[in-house]
Chain A
Amino acid sequence: MSETVVTDLRPLAAVLVSAIAVVFIVASYRYPNVREGWSVLAALAKFAIVASMLPGVMNGTVYKWSFAEATGLDFVAGVDFALRADPLGMLFALLASFLWIFTSFYAAGYMRGLDEHAQTRFFAAFAASLSTAVGIAFASNLVTIFIFYELLSLVTYPLVAHNEDSEARIAGRKYLTYTFFGGGVFLLAGTVLVYWLTSSASGTDTATLEFQAGGIELLTEAAAADPAIAQAAFYLLIAGFGVKAAVMPLHSWLADAMVAPTPVSGLLHAVAVVKSGAFGVARVYLDVFGLEFPTAYPLSVPVVGDVPLNIPVAILAAFTLTAASIIALRKDHLKRRLAYSTTAQLSYIVLGLSMLHPIGVLGALLHIPAHAFGKLTLFFCAGAIHVETHTDYVSEMAGIGKRMPLTMSAFTLGAASMAGIPLLAGFVSKFYLLIGAASGAEVAVYGLEATWLWIFAASLIVSGVLNIAYLWPVVYTAFFESEDRHDAKPVFEFPAGGERKSYGVLEGEADHDIASDGGSDDSTRKDRYAVNENPSDADVPFGPGSGAGSTAAGENPVAADHDDTDQDDHTDEHHDSEANEHHETDDEEHHDDHHHGGAPLGGWERRSPLTFAESTWLMLMPITVIVTGAVTLGIVPDYAVFLELADTIVAGVTGEGVL
């Protein structure tokens, strides 16, 4: 497909607009309304800039801004610092900037609702994250994407460590370690290898790292001369991006990063950050190595024979999406359950790309927005529940549908989308993924044995079923169970058929455990009626060290100190005064993630969905919009731009579209 490259400032402007907003956000730290105003303004401006390029990009125009052209200097010798808006970049940038608009409203509502500390830092880092995410989308070569990838790790760190307690700090450390290992080590090493390969191939000292739809030509030449290095570069790059895409075994930072405030978990750890990893994998497959490379230079494995390079990646992805779904079944903490769901869903994308079939790639690309809309809905709902009722655990949510009817309805739709129920976004993308797997199996092209593809298709379906298994109980308990009469959750932990009791956040509830694989912590759990006992007896775990043992709550001096605060929180229904209370009595190290929720004495209050009284409009409006988006993508994918955009990308890589 012919491309017209047009020099344009807009890609740069799209990146910079929120970076500049950071300055204003910090400067107006005294005036929260003005500060949040800047956030919203920057989000709108960013979306407007990105959207303004959309028609051009759809018509085959590529907008490009290059540091070298602007200043006459390369960034480092032989490598330009350049941003360009091509279809693949547009897909990601459009998604991130669109969702940011609503997230910035939601974040305002969430942070105010909880009266969080350091809000200026939060909003500044949030804006900076979006800046770098769009930078990743528009990066035109490996060095540029590396720069933004590193910066993204850096600016999201304050968001993960936001709570400033030891749990958040440990999560932050883990986050930094994983992401910088991925970025600073793997990705940089892969980039340098590609640089070296292309420079040695050209014979004229000119290296290139510039993305090229269908693969960098020089690299293809170089790979012929030195396949081993090219293979190493391929795996280094995939591993570098795979860290952020949370492909096992590099996934465990994601669940821990859930200590961050929910808007962060929502937009960043379900959309911008993790998708930047998946997006990077897409770049590597489509624009660096090309779809032919993995089969052209297979690994020769003893016994098995030649294995195309994409197969190990696909196997890991298939394993991840199954295993993460199973782990999610066992998670009682809603956000953690969603985090493992994210881990699984991201692997759909990686798997779809790794199948190398055009339809599979299309499905994978479409799954980027489809998952984003669905998962953002779920996170927003989880956050709204947290703000309103301080309930974080699925086992405490029995009957919460009465209290938050709209929120839980949206949650239901989002969950259905995750599971791939037709008429919702998740169905469309999974449909293409399955078609890709199946039709790939028909023709057995792109180096994949038909059997592999059937296995992958099966794992997709199994995971879909598991999706229902771990998300349906939430819906079920919210709407169809009552506070005093409900099954124990997570369902998986108890005898088949369920058990008529439940437990809440027990002493040392080891979901805070670093291991967080859901295995080792069971012994410390005790069954308990969440409703009938006084909730303030439960422990406030202060990090994995102090709370990990089986120390009873009352014996824990730290927990005892906070008991009165906790009671305040629980007896007080109205979140405004609750927040004040919280603020006054508690000026240090106390975090809302640690409040134990559950229904107040006497059960949930019933609030009508028609009066919008269940939460503030700042939170309900984004939830409504995003869930509408998920439905729209599912019902009329042809009219939502993403399908067409994904097809354009596939057409750019393979020469013709699949639709």
Chain B
Amino acid sequence: MSSVELLPALLVVVPILLATVPIALGLRYDRTGWSVTLATTVGLFAGTVYLATVVYGGSGTNQEVAVIHELGGFTAPMGIELVADTLSTMIALLVTGTALGVLAFTRVGGPRGNTFYSGYLLLVGGLLGLTMTGDVFNMFVFLEIVGLGSYALISSGRGPEAAVAALKYLIIGTVGASIYLIGVGFLFMATGSLNMLDLAATVPTLEGQNLQLARAAFAFIFVGFAIKVAQWPLHSWQPDAYQHAPDGVTPLIAALVSTVSAYALARLLFTVFGAEFIASTPYASEIIVTVGAVSVVAGSTLAVIQTDVKRMLAYSSVSQFGLIVAAYGLLTETALVGALIHLIGHGLMKAGLFIAVGIIAIGYGARTVDAYAGLAGERPFVAGSMAVLLIALVGIPPSIGFIGKWYIAVGAIEAQSWLVAGVIFLSTMLTLAYVARLLERMYFTPASALEAGHEDTATVGHAVTDGGTATVRGTRVTIGMLAIVIFVAALAVFLGFAGDAFFALLEPFVESADLEVSP
């Protein structure tokens, strides 16, 4: 086994094992958590980058370039595989990169403490595992590890609200994962296998009763993931969780947890079940598309009426993931590429946006849309970066948001699914509705007009007074934090020119998904 093949396992195992270190060392030393976590995350990022050079450096089909690790030396289909193919490597890059950025933010922005870092590493390990696993049951385990990590991190928020939000998330999330587990049970009944590639080979051959079982499995799996990806009407855990999580945690959860879940859904839909299965199952494609399209509209509408910025962005996630799920249901190559690009782009943009929200809460004491008034004058850099990210989210070119939307739109037209195409085009307006509201507050509403709003937030004790001098928890805005946000904003624009490159990188995976070849 070459050293490259060991990498996928290391990427998963190392963070989970090291998650115990901050707590263990914490018994003696107070301040080791950050350095351990930083070292680990940097290592993970470096490992992923190396993995990416190997995977994208190779040529051939998705299977040929993939780096596969068989855990414990047990061969598939009995053993569990960790697979880094063209898609999962890209998601892994997003995970480790974002984790690194968010970690840098938490250095000063908080939360801190050894338990936080343990949860952090656990979450990152779980996410990487979820990304690379090649086994459907193993996926459940990682889903739950991710869940555990996020519940712990969300509840590390100061207020009691955080615990309530975390419990709500825990109950709904566990039910979601359990529903997925039922689906896995049905799939196992139908095929007798749990390995994804093995399943991919078996599912198309199913017939009769076993086919019915597989369809039942499909239904359960989709519903389970609809909860995890926060599709309307199963999204209710998400706004609470995002809003009440500490500022340092929200970017991580918002950017990664739902994203990786949506990735896992794509993996199951296109690798395990395959497009043909979905197309041949009555109403399957229609249901997926409808759920997605309804989420787009409902999520945006709910986002417009929110007063809390984090909550607004949370509903925005519901809507954006709706776009992605709808694109899955279209079953065309272009739409799938679009969905995957949007998945990555959305993760990136939301990470940047939530970090910006954190910075603003620390430095400006503003958490509601109203309190953002006059922000542009006071904090030009963070407001500017946030504006760029918001505009990218609307899908105004050149930005990563546009690339995703373009491919999804082309895919919808190719599928001749006019209704979805209409929703996708209208989603620009829907997104604009809440984005413009925030932009208008930041840039075109003088702060003085809404002074009262400020004092409210200040007394709640979240952060500081208007002057930005007094600090509550010793937190302050550092140059580094600003640099992260500015970097993310620049990246979101820069990647807007990389549409073709993304297409080329993802092509092996999309081809392996074997969709009806459409131009």
A residues near B (Cβ < 8 Å) are 67, 71, 73-77, 81, 143, 146-147, 150-151, 154, 158, 161, 164, 168-169, 172-173, 176-177, 180-181, 184-185, 188-189, 192-193, 195-196, 199-200, 205, 207, 588-589
Contacts and interface: CB of A to CB of B under 8 A. Distances in A.
B444 A184 contact: no
Given A150-B397, A158-B443, A184 B432 contact: yes
7 contacts: A73-B497, A73-B498, A77-B337, A147-B397, A150-B396, A164-B444, A588-B446
Q: Is the interface of B mostly helix, strand, loop or mixed?
A: helix
Most buried by A among B394, B406, B497, B500: B500
B319 to A, nearest CB: 15
Contact of B410 (A67, A147, A169, A196): A196
Interface string B418-447: 000100011011001000100010011110
Nearest to B412: A192
B501 A73 contact: yes
B460 interface: no
A476 B501 CA distance: 63
Nearest to A26: B380
A164 B432 contact: no
Nearest to B503: A77
Contacts of B421: 189, 192
B410 A195 contact: yes
Interface in B432-490: 432, 436, 440, 443-446, 448-449
A16 B403 CA distance: 22
Contacts of A161: 440, 443-444
A209 B421 CA distance: 19
Contacts, number: 101
Contacts of A200: 519
A77 B336 CA distance: 14
A185 B428 contact: yes
Interface string B111-135: 0000000000000000000000000
B215 to A, nearest CB: 32
Contact of A588 (B398, B407, B414, B449): B449
B395 A184 contact: yes
B497 A81 contact: yes
Contact of A196 (B397, B413, B445): B413
A180 B428 contact: yes
Contacts of B395: 184
Contact of A193 (B394, B413, B444, B519): B413
A147 B429 contact: no
B426 A185 contact: yes
A73 B497 CA distance: 8
B266 interface: no
Contacts of B440: 161, 169, 172-173
B84 interface: no
Contacts of B396: 150-151, 154, 184
A74 B413 contact: no
Interface in B356-398: 391, 394-398
B342 to A, nearest CB: 13
B409 interface: yes
Q: Is the interface of A mostly helix, strand, loop or mixed?
A: helix
A418 B410 CA distance: 43
B352 interface: no
Interface in B487-519: 497-501, 503, 519
Contact of B403 (A76, A150, A168, A205): A76
Nearest to B435: A176
Given A184-B396, A193-B413, A205 B425 contact: no
A417 to B, nearest CB: 35
A75 B499 contact: yes
A180 B426 CA distance: 10
A176 B428 CA distance: 11
A151 B429 CA distance: 15
Given A151-B396, A169-B440, A188 B428 contact: yes
A73 B397 contact: no
Most buried by B among A77, A143, A193, A207: A77
A589 B449 CA distance: 9
A173 B436 contact: yes
Given A67-B497, A76-B407, A196-B414, A164 B445 contact: yes
Contact of B499 (A77, A158, A195, A196): A77
A173 B498 CA distance: 31
A77 B500 contact: yes
B500 A177 contact: no
Contacts of A71: 497
Contacts of A195: 410, 413
A192 B413 contact: yes
Given A76-B407, A192-B409, A176 B444 contact: no
B444 A168 contact: yes
Contacts of B334: 77
B486 to A, nearest CB: 14
Contacts of B426: 185
Contacts of B436: 173, 176
Contacts of A207: 519
Contacts of A143: 397, 406
Interface in B321-337: 334, 337
Contact of A184 (B407, B429, B498, B519): B429
Nearest to A197: B413
Given A147-B397, A184-B396, A193-B413, A74 B443 contact: no
